[in-house]
């Protein structure tokens, strides 16, 4: 990941303003420690902090077209850049950077080229010929982006809040899948796939089509000129990513440069479920596996820094971000600059246990659509900012545009959770990779149930956070919380503790409004309650109170696999705890 900052149409083109833009851009230096660049033309500034993944030698930004009349600063990766270069035979490229195609595509097609890009990206493009500009963010919001407005009429763009929060009168999230055009003076949706309207698809389930689509999504993310690895918690999603990567690494440019043996990474408290499961999968796949241990105190000590970097006060996001933040630092210390991760699967396939309660396929499908649309505020934010804090890039194949189109076009009847038919959560994904002749994973791993990331790293992690908050937030504070924090009022001591830290770093009203909550969370949790009224008492973000859904679904039993057939096995209390569901409307890494 890189860091971008743009100030467009401000009333000041002085040296002092240039120095201020540079100062603000340096707040994003953690995202791109490899190089800095700044372009200024009159009252427009485009700044860039580079993390060099493709063409480290010559791909510095901002980037230009042939005569430098078009200037671009980009955060992201364009996986189909070689194909796009071939489609532009009359253009001369200055670098080998994957992002170099953007200025030339604009020259060729104007503002209507964004949907041609296959990748994750946020960019600002300035056309100096008429001083117009466009800003765009990738389809799902994998890369973080914010937009702000100054009193002088200027438009500000930044990868993170910290680039805007002192200098803009108002700022907000830049919506994913949209483009802002100065010519139109507003946003328009460039990403509008069939599933976006939440119409119910009817395409029959084709396991091989789904498998091939996901394999292709992983393979295209092997594009790198620097050392990389995979995040491996031992759950279904990360294990599939690791398995496919290990299969296809040999023969790639990355393998020739850095070796054909895949490196995998896992984090947890001593003896945690993730460490055990991750090692088991790593041994099966033959990866060079790296385990990183942390203590509850290590995590608590990092909380303030985590909130500063991830820029949210959402409880579940902070819980899951902290171990990932600590792991990213360790990974970067090994010289690795890119990792492939497993975000997005639970949203696409209805992987959270409350989907057991979906009354019909229509409700099931519409809830998956809503959760995908909200990913940029939860899992994408966490994965992007937790890793970018240390100059590490996270790529997420489950959120590949082509793969989402295939997965969301499946008749949702196939995704419905039906224990009586042997279908547990994400059955269509598991079945697609259930290859008897050339197995991707052992059966018990392929059909292993979901583990929350924040619990998977060790059950005492959440308990430790709650205990710490209990010591620092009094009952009187909670009693008066609505007066101190009238917007998204914290209702627990843990939430209050995080909110006070956030407000120290980001005291502006615009900043607190970028964090979801209130009506949006209530609406999403209400969906699960609508499906089953018993959920009204099960809305704790840890999801531990929601174990009843598992009991009602399986009769205190969980499915296992024997000779390819789902079989029930009685589970003990420790395993029950591992099967806990995330709270409705809140999103956690699998």
Q: Binding site: which residues?
A: 98, 231, 267, 341-342
Residue 132: phi and psi, rounded to 5, are -85, 160
In 334-451, alpha helices (H): 345-349, 361-374, 379-388, 401-407, 427-432, 443-446
What tokens were used for 387?
A: 């890793």
Could you count the other beta carbons within 10 Å of the beta carbon of residue 478?
16
Nearest to 232 by CA among 590, 490, 578, 564: 590
Are β-strands 565-570 and 557-562 bridged in parallel, bridged antiparallel, or unpaired? antiparallel
* Residue 198 zone, left/alpha/beta (φ > 0; ψ -120 to 50; rest): left
- Three-class DSSP category at 172: strand
| CA separation for the pair 455, 507 (Å, rounded) | 31
| Binding residue positions for ATP | 231, 267, 341-342
Question: Active site residue: 2, 10, 44, 168, which one?
Answer: 2
Give me the residues paired with residue 568 across strands. Answer: 559
The b/e string for 545-554 (b: 16+ C-beta within 10 A; e otherwise) is ebbebbeebb
Mark the binding-site residues for L-glutamine, compressed into ranges: 98
Q: How far apart are CA 365 and CA 36, in angstroms?
A: 44
Tell me if residue 2 is catalytic: yes
**CA torsion 445→449→451→456, rounded to 10°?**
-40
200 in helix, strand or coil?
coil
Residues recognised as catalytic: 2
């Amino acid at each position: 990941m890189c860091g971008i900052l743009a100030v467009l149409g401000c009333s000041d083109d002085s040296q002092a303003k240039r120095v201020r833009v540079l100062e603000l851009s340096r707040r994003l230096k953690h995202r791109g420690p490899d190089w800095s660049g700044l372009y200024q033309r009159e009252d427009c500034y485009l700044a860039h902090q580079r993390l060099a993944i493709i063409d480290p030698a010559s791909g510095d930004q901002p980037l230009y077209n042939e005569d430098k009349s078009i200037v671009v600063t980009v955060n992201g990766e364009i996986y189909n850049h070689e194909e796009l270069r071939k489609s532009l035979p009359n253009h001369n490229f200055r670098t080998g950077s994957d992002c170099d195609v953007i200025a030339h595509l604009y020259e060729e097609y104007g503002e209507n080229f964004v949907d041609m890009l296959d990748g994750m990206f946020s960019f600002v493009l300035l056309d100096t010929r008429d001083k117009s500009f466009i800003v765009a963010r990738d389809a799902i919001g994998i890369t973080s982006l914010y937009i702000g407005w100054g009193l002088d009429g200027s438009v500000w763009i930044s990868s993170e809040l910290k680039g805007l929060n002192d200098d803009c009168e108002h700022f907000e999230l830049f919506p994913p899948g949209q483009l802002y055009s100065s010519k139109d003076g507003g946003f328009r949706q460039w990403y509008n796939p069939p599933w976006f309207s939440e119409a119910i698809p009817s395409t029959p389930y084709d396991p091989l089509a789904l498998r091939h689509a996901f394999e292709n999504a992983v393979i295209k993310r092997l594009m790198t000129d620097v050392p990389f690895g995979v995040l491996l918690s031992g759950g279904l999603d990360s294990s599939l990513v690791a398995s496919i990567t290990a299969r296809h690494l040999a023969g790639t440019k990355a393998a020739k440069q850095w070796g054909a043996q895949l490196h995998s990474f896992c984090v947890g408290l001593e003896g945690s479920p993730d460490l055990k499961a991750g090692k088991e999968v790593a041994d099966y796949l033959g990866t060079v596996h790296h385990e990183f241990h942390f203590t509850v105190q290590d995590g608590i000590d990092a909380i303030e820094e985590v909130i500063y970097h991830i820029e949210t006060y959402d409880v579940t996001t902070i819980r899951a971000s902290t171990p990932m933040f600590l792991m990213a630092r360790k990974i970067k210390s090994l010289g690795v600059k890119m990792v492939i991760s497993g975000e997005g699967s639970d949203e696409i396939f209805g992987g959270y246990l409350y989907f057991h309660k979906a009354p019909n396929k229509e409700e099931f499908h519409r809830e998956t659509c809503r959760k995908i649309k909200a990913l940029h505020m939860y899992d994408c934010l966490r994965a992007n900012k937790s890793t970018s804090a240390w100059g590490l890039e996270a790529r997420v194949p489950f959120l590949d545009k082509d793969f989402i189109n295939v997965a969301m076009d499946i008749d949702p009847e196939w995704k419905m959770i039906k224990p009586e038919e042997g279908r547990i959560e994400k059955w269509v994904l598991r079945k697609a990779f259930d290859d008897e002749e050339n197995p991707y994973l052992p059966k018990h791993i392929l059909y292993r149930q979901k583990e929350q990331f924040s619990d998977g790293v060790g059950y005492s992690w959440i308990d430790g956070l709650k205990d710490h908050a209990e010591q620092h937030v009094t009952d009187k504070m909670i009693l008066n919380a609505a007066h101190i924090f009238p917007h998204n009022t914290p209702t627990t001591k843990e939430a209050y503790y995080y909110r006070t830290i956030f407000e120290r770093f980001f005291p502006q009203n615009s900043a607190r409004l970028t964090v979801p909550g209130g009506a949006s969370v209530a609406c999403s949790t209400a969906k699960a309650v609508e499906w089953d009224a018993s959920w009204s008492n099960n809305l704790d973000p840890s999801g531990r109170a929601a174990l009843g859904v598992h009991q009602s679904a399986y009769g205190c039993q969980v499915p296992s696999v024997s000779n390819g057939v789902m079989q029930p096995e009685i589970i003990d209390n420790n395993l029950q705890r591992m099967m806990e569901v995330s709270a409705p409307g809140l999103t956690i890494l699998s």
